[in-house]
Amino acid sequence: MQAQTEYGYNSKVEGDVVLTTVDAALAWFRKNSVWPMPMGLACCAIELMAVGASRFDISRFGSEVMRFSPRQADCMIVAGTVTYKSAGFLKRIYDQMPEPKWVIAMGACASTGGMYRSYAVLQGVDKIVPVDVYIGGCPPRPEAVLDALIKIQEKIGKQPILQGTVAAKLLHLEEK
Amino acid sequence: MSALESANKIKAKFGALIAEPTEFRGEISLDISDAEQIFEVCNFAKRQLGFDYLVDISSVDHYGEDPRWTVIYHLRGVASGEELRLKTDVSEEKSELPSVLPVWRTANWHEREIYDMMGIRFSGHPDLRRILMWEGYPYHPLRKDFPLAGKSSDLPGVAFTNPAPLEGGPFVTLPSSGDAISREPRVRTPEE
């Protein structure tokens, strides 16, 4: 009996192989499992709950794992009015989130202070944390939150992960 | 016993200290001329007259007048259902009156709120800290001479407070019997 070895074309694996780069694959993994940190401060948080519930279902986009600990989350959704008094601990929670991290400013208040032009309200959460996507509305429709999530996913998908890192050199992904 | 009878009992007990009770839409108000006596009056109202519930303490800023402050106590007897309002004036130089916390424990947070928003102090309060704004905030924002947009405060840690952009505001509603368009909030200068 002679052992038969097939080289080259293998019909058994056709259709199950995708050629890509390591970076693109990692970005694809990452962008489809964004774990949000619901920073619910006002009525926008109620709409955020609707986004998580069955009708709108944020899990269709891989983000159903709402984490109430900043250490386990990578996308803070600032849902509501940020007062100066709460701005301090919002920044502290943001600082506790591990890198890489993104921020969605949900609604008029989180984006600009909204209708609260007063001594007590921070005029936009972007004054203390870097915001990636702003959502208009008071409060925004759940579809708008999902749209913001898709925009965040597009942004994450374009960000290089291994490029320029030590791991890339070890894996010989880059020219030395 | 009606609220008016209770008010007359307070007047009989404290005499010249208390003005004649005034009635407005079925509610009784009592003016107390000496703010230092507010504790005794409140203590009497609770122990003898059954006003066991302090609904609220509020304060009014009569900016430009003397005395500048009015502190108002809203009392209610839970069993009798009667309500009584006590008012007392406090001058700006003094800005202090006795705490009624030993009478009603709920006065704790009400007095802290007035201290925070108006800057009126309550002597004998065990924990007179700000309750809404943060520790170290330098202003009392509900005073009439404090702008709605706020002032910048440059304290370490909270150095980012700046006046809010009002875009021509503040927007003022006109109380009138006109239609919704004439009543709605618009930019109105004080001369109007």
Q: Indicate which CATH number applies to the domain containing B28.
A: 3.30.460.80
Confidence label for B190 from pLDDT (cuts 50, 70 and 90)? low
Mean pLDDT across B172-177 = 75
CA distance B170 to chain A (A): 9
Considering chain B, what is the average pLDDT of its residues? 85
Q: Which chain A residue's Cα is nearest to B133?
A: A85
DSSP state of B49: T
Question: What is the rounded CA–CA span in Å between residue A72 and residue A49?
Answer: 19
Overall average pLDDT of the B121-128 stretch: 91
Say what the pLDDT of residue B70 is: 93
In this predicted structure, the answer to whether residue B10 has a pLDDT above a threshold of 90 is no
> Could you state, in order of their start, the residue ranges of all structural domains in chain A?
36-151
> Residue B169 above 70 pLDDT?
no
Phi, psi of A124 (to 5 degrees): 110, 125
Would you call A118 and B158 a contact, using CB atoms and an 8 Å cutoff? no
Give the pLDDT confidence score for residue B1 in this predicted structure: 62
pLDDT of residue B156: 59
**Which carries the bigger pLDDT value, residue B147 or residue B169?**
B147
- Cβ contact B133:A112 at 8 Å: no
The token pair that represents A91 in the structure block: 């920044």
Asked if B30 and B72 count as a contact pair (C-beta separation under 8 A), the reply is no
Chain A residues in contact with B148 (beta carbon < 8 A): 117-119
CB half-sphere exposure, B138, CA atoms < 13 A: 10
Contact flag B164-A128 (C-beta cutoff 8 Å)? no
State the pLDDT confidence band at B192, using cuts at 50, 70 and 90: very low
One pLDDT digit (tens) per residue for chain A, 176 residues: 566 665 666 667 666 677 778 888 888 999 999 999 999 899 999 999 999 999 999 999 989 899 899 999 999 999 999 988 888 889 899 999 998 899 999 999 999 888 888 888 888 898 889 999 999 999 999 999 999 999 999 999 888 887 777 777 777 766 55
Angle between the N-to-C axes of helices B3-14 and B38-47, in degrees from 0 to 180, rounded to the nearest 10? 130
Q: What is the mean pLDDT of residues B40-45?
A: 90
Residues of B in contact with A84 (CB under 8 A): 133-134, 158, 160-161
Task: Give pLDDT, residue B155.
Answer: 59
> What is the band of B158 on the pLDDT scale with cuts at 50, 70, 90?
low
What residues in B contact A115, CB-CB < 8 Å? none
Chain B residues near residue A123 by CB distance under 8 angstroms: 162, 164-165
| CA-based nearest distance A102→chain B, Å | 22
In this prediction, residue A161 carries a pLDDT of: 82
Q: Which residues of B fall within a CB distance of 8 Å from A88?
A: 134, 157-158
Average pLDDT over residues B2-14: 84
User: Residue B114: what pLDDT?
Assistant: 94
Cα angle for residues A8, A13, A14 (degrees, 5° grid)? 85
pLDDT of res. A151: 94
**Counting beta carbons within 10 angstroms of the beta carbon of residue B158, is it exposed (0 to 12), middle (13 to 18) or buried (19 or more)?**
middle
B158 contacts A84? CB cut-off 8 A: yes
Alpha-carbon dihedral sign for residues B153, B146, B163, A106 = positive
* Domain topology for A36-151: Rossmann fold (3.40.50)
To probe the interface with A, which of B133, B144, B146, B151 has the most A CB atoms within 10 Å?
B133
User: Can you give the pLDDT at residue B24?
Assistant: 87
B153 falls within a domain: no
What range does the domain containing B139 cover? 3-147
Q: What confidence score (pLDDT) does residue A11 get?
A: 67
Is there a contact between B141 and A85 if contact means CB atoms under 8 Å apart? no
- Predicted pLDDT of residue A120: 86
Environment class of B138 (CB within 10 Å of its CB; exposed 0-12, middle 13-18, buried 19+) = exposed
Hey, are the CB atoms on A120 and B157 less than 8 Å from each other? no
Residues of B with CB under 8 A from a CB of A: 132-134, 139, 141, 146-151, 157-158, 160-167, 169
What is the distance between the alpha carbons of residues B88 and B175, in angstroms, rounded to a whole number?
28
With respect to residue B125, please indicate whether it lies within any of the assigned structural domains.
Answer: yes
Domain count for chain B: 1
- Please choose, from the candidates B136, B188, B125, the residue with its C-alpha nearest in 3D space to the C-alpha of residue B159: B136
The yes/no answer to whether this complex scores an ipTM above 0.95 is: no
Mutate to test the interface with A, among B161, B171, B184 (most CBs of A within 10 A): B161
Chain A nearest CA to B61, separation (Å): 18
Tell me how close the Cα of B59 comes to any Cα of chain A, in angstroms: 19
A100: left (phi over 0), alpha (psi -120 to 50) or beta: beta
Backbone angles phi, psi at B117, to 5 degrees: -85, -35
Read off the pLDDT of residues B65-78 as tens digits, 9 standing for 90 and up.
888 999 999 999 99
In a domain, B72, yes or no: yes
Residue B139 has pLDDT above 80, yes or no: yes
The yes-or-no verdict on residue B191 having pLDDT over 60 is: no
Q: What is the pLDDT of residue A85?
A: 85
How near does any CA of chain A get to the CA of B94, in Å?
Answer: 26
